[in-house]
Structure 1
């Protein structure tokens, strides 16, 4: 399928044969495309909990926005993404959507913050014991063999001035600049150490171990990334800073650091006490979960996750601001499931925004105000923790995903709330048995029984005859419909042979003989979602090609 998509995109053809190569890049950032980005973000918002606090009124409200991710934009894009000309942060979105509200923002923790001050020059020495660092300029392939050295010199600190580079570097791209030497801290403690750059990429090493890396991809503006290290007063450590820029443009590189303190800040508590409602923007980012990354945070290892919990510093921040006694709306950013057990019991509302893209901040704000009625559904199961999952090394499906998991998850696959209510009636199924391999049509009527218009996502689940290897249930169709209050609509699902099949314990795709159960509703059966159920019979058995 990947190569089919590539062929359709013309990736194996000469550019003159590919119609997509003639599209002006400016069209990609058109007003129409940004509007589509907002629509998609709005449709992806998933409301996990709401005790009635949402939607918020848009005027006369004091809102405390807390959390390290509220003003950040990179988190909204995930990874393997393009670079928009502008990305709306949650904080920006709230200020635009609630212009008459009094909004106060406090990050609340240093966790996931990439702030830092330049390394003091007084703490730096070269290998030869002289003040400062060795600075080396080179060129070559960006990810190729050893680069060609153009010039070297001694400098007091890491600072790039385009007007003060050796003449040997003129016109040489990619241009690499490396600073190396020793850092001798004057205080013992945990530090955030990293880079702030304009250019292509940067890597920071301590004792030859990668601490932070930032790939800016020549995107405009400054980009920063820090990592955690423990340093001891008076004990020097070897440091290295690698910087690259692939084409002419703004050049900036700073070696930054900050003393790390993950505890909730007093300012966050004060803001919460002075507010009518707290919007806590917490979660994980593509800087924590990804591929082969220098991550050493609790619950993460090299880009993999060792826990499903909300990171500890954010959990502590959430509990601390909740202790102020004001209503708390939790907004999550994440690319995978989060076991937000405490929040489910104590937060007033939970909105999962995932990584919603360039208009993500606008979508979050419009959902909190009620301009957007959420109708997103969970595409994965939210377990209460890793203890609900089989060992990672066990590749069997037993106990995995909504199809084979027999326990009670935190939030089930397909779950999502709305600001209105829907009902399902009139399920129509074949009265007589069908032959294995014949198609089947299921019809149901959906009505908006609430007071607001909104979307409903109707989901069709099948339960199979008692056959070895059969899943507990399987999603076999879904449709999204928009209904005004009091409006109803008939929705039809056509199930073909592949939809009616399952894989038995011998690994064969079959349509089994026997009784099938059908549930159509706003979520899985027996999860509290409105639904209607029925049964039908299949005569005979059919094996399908793989």
Structure 2
């Protein structure tokens, strides 16, 4: 054989194979447009491979070198969920909204994306591809907080469409970044649309609203994020709208989102929402019909529960859907992954060099503290009770939120390296000579009658201190358990995470076994603190049995336990839902009167009551059933009565009582407002909330937060929870007298407004320049939030009182003045009509500008200025794209 004749042939073959290889992986050619690369990749997939890429947890496509990817992640107020990484936790979104500072939110989102990239880069290098490692974040929640009873309202930016849209756009821009080639992370606006409780009905509820309310309230912020901020993802809601499930709704998904707004990003279902089509809504006969309809309406991704989209392969084979519709969905999904740089060399993606050193770094911690400070709203400050002196002789700190951590972290939270609670913040702040006395006194809805004792060494298993834990990845203790010895029973989680390896928090059962050997004979109480179903067994005898739901899980068991005897204790718990807790300890029951508790602190110079509610009570369909709360929602907006009862007793001491309220929603505190000298609303303030609150209490930070929701006086002020009409809802339509208005917030200084400059008249196509002078007339430096509202003085204004159309946060030193200008466009002075059209009509509008709404109680003050402007010309119909 002539080797010299063979070599040219081999070279030709090698060249052919090299070219073929290059052609095969055309989608990896970074010089090509993303559209062409995506087209090439999808063309190489089988139908089965395409469908598997439409589930939130996608498998690898090994023959093409594509790794697995999990779409599900959260960054509601910092990178969420992963306990294995220490990240920065900012205030809950309702608290961020109280900052009225879009620049702070943009920076927060940018820092969050940086930390998210650090986690993604680290886990990718370690070949870890599970949930909450990716860069497709299902945040922000921009639903309108129309009713304070909704348990998830604290995930939102409040009740106003303009404020929500403005802050939401800042969040998206910060998270997605400004790189022309790559997304820093992908944001997803949820839940589209007309979604805000009740939680117990969310899988089956059908919302019916007028076309006017749909456009004027429920779609406005979504349009802002899609059209203006170019958000890359949308999550369609569980509920139905006008008889059709949102994820398969002609009007919402096709007419508006894809056609009018030209949305080109991806749509994911809420988790299990496609299965709701046939299980709850009953609009579809079976899984395959639901899956086909969802994809035909532009839902690209099925967040896994029962994996409805797995039927799409059979649907194509049966001719019920064309494969090109599958291709469209998969192309949108891969476009996001390409825009994130997943298939490009690391040296081309500038975000690929972010390391875990970015996590919870000092700059991020500082910003979390700043936002917590900005979010605090001073609701009342009679006779300048605040700020307090740091050298007081004795300060009493009482109440259920003084030492809380979950009440600072909120929900969908991450895990910071350090959490500062209120008690710690106060102790750090005061002089060394000041005594800071703490006693919880009451829980959220009950008196705190259980007194725990540290008796850990009396509980052993096989000679070792602790408890033998058996975790099951199901609800019936079946199959093989993951077992381990634990020193304590101390379990708390919010959202979906891993309790132990392979054990998902949303659905598991656990059994703890220990041997109790008392060191003395006496009456003792075993306390199982939980919000789930439990069983307590002592020496093979059942003492508490609430596993079947026949009784509520009363976790207190009191009996005489004798020295020298052994008691085998077994605790079983069924933990179903997104949130849960399970703690066990030993102690005694005491039943002191509220009066005796209050009189115990009468020698203090000031009493700080840390009360309110908790994200353990209000949240996402959490199964809680107790006084005032039902499955995550609230059944009353009143402060839990045990807290008001204690506050009444504390007032009798004659000492000033400062109420620090932590909450994610508006609370009716009419008695407290009339009888307590100072009230702060601190929301769920994040990892540095304790420091921030102490800064405000003692005057190191001048409070500047403003309410993003209306605080009503009573339940009777609210329409039925299930009524989605905006009549008498939010400050925009409420005709009654509120306790604290949207936009309300006090300061330790005062601000005055003068020299308002606006035109007397303007055309329907023109802009309006609004200038005003703002002066700090007090004795402290401070920040003011200037608010601009308009009211249409027309008969057909749909009972709209007024609407926010501009705001600015400025800092002024004492005695300093600043001129501020707003420019209103035709869009700002337009109105939606009953046909879903946005128009500017001739007539008069009333404009007000100041530090609050123009309410009667502030008339005659210099808190705001009002001017009427005449609009002239022909009706101007705005083009809505």
Give the drift of 1:117.
6.5
Q: Assess if the C-alpha contact under 8 Å between 1:64 and 1:272 holds in 2.
A: yes
Aligned residue for 1:318, secondary structure, equals helix
Measure, in 1, the Cα distance between the counterparts of 2:378 and 2:790: 25
Give the drift of 1:444.
0.2
Match 1:488 to one of 817, 830, 843: 817
Matched, 1:99 2:275: no
Give the drift of 1:135.
6.9
Match 2:680 to one of 330, 351, 360: 351
Measure, in 1, the Cα distance between the counterparts of 2:763 and 2:749: 40
Give the drift of 1:538.
1.3
Matched, 1:36 2:360: no
Aligned residue for 1:37, secondary structure, equals helix
Q: Assess if the C-alpha contact under 8 Å between 2:528 and 2:582 holds in 1.
A: no
Determine the structure 1 residue equivalent to 2:529.
194
Alignment of 1:85-234 (within 5 A): 85-100=417-432, 101-111=434-444, 137=470, 148-149=479-480, 160=486, 173-174=501-502, 178-179=510-511, 193-194=528-529, 204=534, 206-209=545-548, 228=554
Matched, 1:532 2:872: no
Match 2:400 to one of 38, 53, 68: 68
Does the C-alpha gap of structure 1 residues 239 and 151 become closer, same or farther in structure 2, counting only changes over 3 Å? Answer: closer
Match 1:460 to one of 788, 809, 823: 788
Give the drift of 1:2.
5.8
Q: Assess if the C-alpha contact under 8 Å between 1:457 and 1:479 holds in 2.
A: yes
Give the drift of 1:507.
3.9
- Computed over aligned residues only, the root mean square deviation of the Cα atoms, in angstroms, reads 4.1
List per-residue Cα deviations over 1:452-479 (Å, max 9, x = no partner): 1101111001011312425110010111
Measure, in 2, the Cα distance between the counterparts of 1:238 and 1:409: 51
Determine the structure 1 residue equivalent to 2:773.
445
Q: Assess if the C-alpha contact under 8 Å between 2:470 and 2:512 holds in 1.
A: no
Determine the structure 2 residue equivalent to 1:387.
716
Determine the structure 1 residue equivalent to 2:252.
none
Measure, in 2, the Cα distance between the counterparts of 1:37 and 1:121: 40
Determine the structure 1 residue equivalent to 2:875.
541
Q: Assess if the C-alpha contact under 8 Å between 2:594 and 2:649 holds in 1.
A: no
List per-residue Cα deviations over 1:388-418 (Å, max 9, x = no partner): 0111222211100000001001111000001
Determine the structure 1 residue equivalent to 2:612.
283
Match 1:324 to one of 642, 653, 658: 653
Does the C-alpha gap of structure 1 residues 147 and 344 become closer, same or farther in structure 2, counting only changes over 3 Å? Answer: same
Q: TM-score under structure 2 normalisation?
A: 0.50
Does the C-alpha gap of structure 1 residues 256 and 29 become closer, same or farther in structure 2, counting only changes over 3 Å? Answer: same
Matched, 1:300 2:635: no
Determine the structure 1 residue equivalent to 2:355.
24
Q: Assess if the C-alpha contact under 8 Å between 1:137 and 1:178 holds in 2.
A: yes
Give the drift of 1:357.
0.9
Measure, in 2, the Cα distance between the counterparts of 1:20 and 1:485: 43
Question: Greater shift after overlay, 61-70 or 495-504?
Answer: 495-504
Aligned residue for 2:367, secondary structure, equals helix
Q: TM-score under structure 1 normalisation?
A: 0.79
Does the C-alpha gap of structure 1 residues 392 and 137 become closer, same or farther in structure 2, counting only changes over 3 Å? Answer: closer
Match 1:339 to one of 645, 650, 668: 668
Q: Assess if the C-alpha contact under 8 Å between 2:398 and 2:608 holds in 1.
A: yes
Long gaps (5+) in structure 2: 1-137, 141-171, 177-182, 187-335, 460-466, 489-499, 514-521, 536-544, 561-568
Does the C-alpha gap of structure 1 residues 477 and 138 become closer, same or farther in structure 2, counting only changes over 3 Å? Answer: closer
Aligned residue for 1:34, secondary structure, equals helix
Alignment of 1:373-522 (within 5 A): 373-431=702-760, 433-466=761-794, 467-469=796-798, 471-522=800-851
Determine the structure 1 residue equivalent to 2:416.
84
Aligned residue for 2:801, secondary structure, equals coil
Does the C-alpha gap of structure 1 residues 177 and 49 become closer, same or farther in structure 2, counting only changes over 3 Å? Answer: closer
Matched, 1:48 2:382: no
Does the C-alpha gap of structure 1 residues 410 and 462 become closer, same or farther in structure 2, counting only changes over 3 Å? Answer: same
Q: Assess if the C-alpha contact under 8 Å between 1:66 and 1:268 holds in 2.
A: no
Give the drift of 1:267.
6.5
Measure, in 2, the Cα distance between the counterparts of 1:463 and 1:307: 31
Aligned residue for 1:59, secondary structure, equals coil
Give the drift of 1:545.
4.0
Give the drift of 1:46.
0.4
List per-residue Cα deviations over 1:68-114 (Å, max 9, x = no partner): 21012221111111111111111111111112422111111244779
Structure possessing the higher radius of gyration over alpha carbons: 2
Give the drift of 1:60.
3.3
Give the drift of 1:277.
0.7
Determine the structure 1 residue equivalent to 2:33.
none
Does the C-alpha gap of structure 1 residues 297 and 19 become closer, same or farther in structure 2, counting only changes over 3 Å? Answer: farther
Measure, in 2, the Cα distance between the counterparts of 1:192 and 1:391: 38
Q: Assess if the C-alpha contact under 8 Å between 1:46 and 1:353 holds in 2.
A: yes
Does the C-alpha gap of structure 1 residues 76 and 394 become closer, same or farther in structure 2, counting only changes over 3 Å? Answer: same
Measure, in 2, the Cα distance between the counterparts of 1:150 and 1:394: 46
Measure, in 2, the Cα distance between the counterparts of 1:509 and 1:427: 28
Question: Greater shift after overlay, 13-22 or 510-519?
Answer: 13-22
Determine the structure 2 residue equivalent to 1:218.
none
Q: Assess if the C-alpha contact under 8 Å between 1:110 and 1:262 holds in 2.
A: no
Give the drift of 1:241.
3.0
Measure, in 1, the Cα distance between the counterparts of 2:582 and 2:614: 23
Determine the structure 2 residue equivalent to 1:216.
none
Long gaps (5+) in structure 1: 124-133, 153-157, 163-171, 182-186, 197-201, 212-225, 245-251
Does the C-alpha gap of structure 1 residues 451 and 179 become closer, same or farther in structure 2, counting only changes over 3 Å? Answer: same
Measure, in 1, the Cα distance between the counterparts of 2:512 and 2:427: 43
Match 1:311 to one of 640, 644, 659: 640
Q: What is the aligned length?
A: 490
Alignment of 1:205-284 (within 5 A): 206-209=545-548, 228=554, 240-241=572-573, 255-256=584-585, 268-284=597-613
Does the C-alpha gap of structure 1 residues 2 and 325 become closer, same or farther in structure 2, counting only changes over 3 Å? Answer: closer
Give the drift of 1:385.
1.6
Does the C-alpha gap of structure 1 residues 174 and 258 become closer, same or farther in structure 2, counting only changes over 3 Å? Answer: farther
Does the C-alpha gap of structure 1 residues 45 and 173 become closer, same or farther in structure 2, counting only changes over 3 Å? Answer: closer
Measure, in 2, the Cα distance between the counterparts of 1:495 and 1:264: 58
Aligned residue for 2:419, secondary structure, equals coil
Determine the structure 1 residue equivalent to 2:41.
none
Give the drift of 1:121.
13
Give the drift of 1:325.
1.0
Higher relative helix content: 2
List per-residue Cα deviations over 1:191-250 (Å, max 9, x = no partner): 963369xxxxx9846432579xxxxxxxxxxxxxx964587999xx99623699xxxxxx
Q: Assess if the C-alpha contact under 8 Å between 2:527 and 2:557 holds in 1.
A: no
Q: Assess if the C-alpha contact under 8 Å between 1:308 and 1:385 holds in 2.
A: yes
Measure, in 1, the Cα distance between the counterparts of 2:747 and 2:789: 20
Does the C-alpha gap of structure 1 residues 120 and 33 become closer, same or farther in structure 2, counting only changes over 3 Å? Answer: closer
Q: Assess if the C-alpha contact under 8 Å between 2:850 and 2:864 holds in 1.
A: yes
Aligned residue for 1:288, secondary structure, equals coil
